[in-house]
Amino acid sequence: MPATPTVAELAAATAQQLGALSSAFAIDWIEECDSTNRVLAERPPAADERIAVLVANRQSGGRGRRGRQWLSWSGGSLTFSLRWRFAAGAPVPGGLSLVAGLAVARALDTFGARDIALKWPNDVLHRGNKLAGILVELSSARGCAMTAVIGIGINVRVPADAQVGGHNTVGDLASVLAVPPSSPQLLAAILIELQRLLELYASAGFAGLRTAWEQRHAFAGQRVRVSSENMTVDGECAGVDEDGALLLRDGTGTRRILAGDVSLRPLAAEAS
């Protein structure tokens, strides 16, 4: 049985996969922390321009959206966070979490995955099963540019008896690809797509990526229920706008739903 790679070997293998692009990233691969989003957000920014990435083999308190816990399995998940700094003074455009989902979907395509779809605002699905979740947390210190910590959790190989909450059924890459990529291969592919798309997004906002996102929209034209603590809205998904807001059509017109503490589920699935 091959020896389990050390975190230093995993980081080196990622750098090798990234090739010339590896100088754009400062990758720290660690055995364990509670949440890579929390730890990275608390780290002081580096003096250089590299994009900070924190990867953990295990998370003891992984955070999900809407205050949920994010479960991962050592050796069966890829969990990491990336820090993206916006230009000083620049307004942060909407749709950042949608961009991250698109980057993950495109990275999975490079391994031959088919039918990778996106559920607004930021789940990555394969035929209705959730392969990856994304948690974007924004912060700004006084006088400093806005910073986003983009946390991504990918299910690579989920144990058969795994209990996962939420409205999605859990999926994993091992069910999608005959040979799932190694963690360094997967991480490098996602970082390459993320960097490319985040640069486009930083210069032109979500508008330039909107069509690409809509082409993968899992619930395009379908009736869904969007709910939060304070509201429930039913309607037909009519795409997303240039800020990444969901457009929901009902009898009274089209409403914009801003990403936030909301959940979305297809009404057909709920009835079944």
Contact call for residue 135 and ligand BTN (CB under 6 A): yes
Contact call for residue 82 and ligand BTN (CB under 6 A): no
Single out the residue of 94, 95, 151, 171 in contact with ligand BTN (rule: CB under 6 A). 151
Q: Which is nearer to ligand BTN, 63 or 210 (CB)?
A: 63
Q: Which is nearer to ligand BTN, 68 or 114 (CB)?
A: 68
Contact call for residue 36 and ligand BTN (CB under 6 A): yes
Q: Which is nearer to ligand BTN, 135 or 218 (CB)?
A: 135
Site string for ligand BTN, 167-196 (x = CB under 6 A): ------------------------------
Listed ranges 59-67, 106-114, 169-177, 228-236: which one lies at the site for ligand BTN (CB under 6 A): 59-67
DSSP character at residue 40 = H
Q: Which is nearer to ligand BTN, 94 or 151 (CB)?
A: 151
Following DSSP, what letter does each residue of 164-210 receive, concatenated?
--SSSEE--GGGT-SSPPPHHHHHHHHHHHHHHHHHHHHHH-GGGGH
In the complex, minimum distance from the CB of residue 142 to ligand BTN, in angstroms, rounded to a whole number: 26
Can you tell me the distance from the alpha carbon of 66 to that of 112, in angstroms, rounded to the nearest whole number? 32
Contact call for residue 63 and ligand BTN (CB under 6 A): yes
Of 115, 79, 111, 127, the closest CA to residue 177 belongs to 111
CB 169 within 8 A of CB 131: no
CB 26 within 8 A of CB 45: no
Beta carbons within 8 Å of 157's beta carbon, 6+ residues apart: 73, 75, 76, 172, 173, 174, 180
Q: Which is nearer to ligand BTN, 76 or 236 (CB)?
A: 76
In the complex, minimum distance from the CB of residue 61 to ligand BTN, in angstroms, rounded to a whole number: 7
- Of all residues in the shown chain, the one whose CB is closest to ligand BTN is 133
Beta bridge mates, 237 = 248
Q: Which is nearer to ligand BTN, 71 or 174 (CB)?
A: 71
Single out the residue of 26, 58, 64, 225 in contact with ligand BTN (rule: CB under 6 A). 64
Beta bridge mates, 84 = 148
Single out the residue of 10, 11, 57, 65 in contact with ligand BTN (rule: CB under 6 A). 65
Contact call for residue 259 and ligand BTN (CB under 6 A): no
Of 167, 5, 173, 193, the closest CA to residue 78 belongs to 173
Number of residues in the chain: 272
Following DSSP, what letter does each residue of 120-139 receive, concatenated?
TTTEEEETTEEEEEEEEEEE
Q: Which is nearer to ligand BTN, 128 or 238 (CB)?
A: 128
Q: Enter the tokens of residue 39.
A: 């730890």
Dihedral of the CA atoms 185, 189, 194, 197 (nearest 10)? 180
In the complex, minimum distance from the CB of residue 103 to ligand BTN, in angstroms, rounded to a whole number: 14
- The contact set with ligand BTN (CB under 6 A) reads 35-37, 59, 62-65, 68, 70, 79-81, 123, 133-135, 151-153
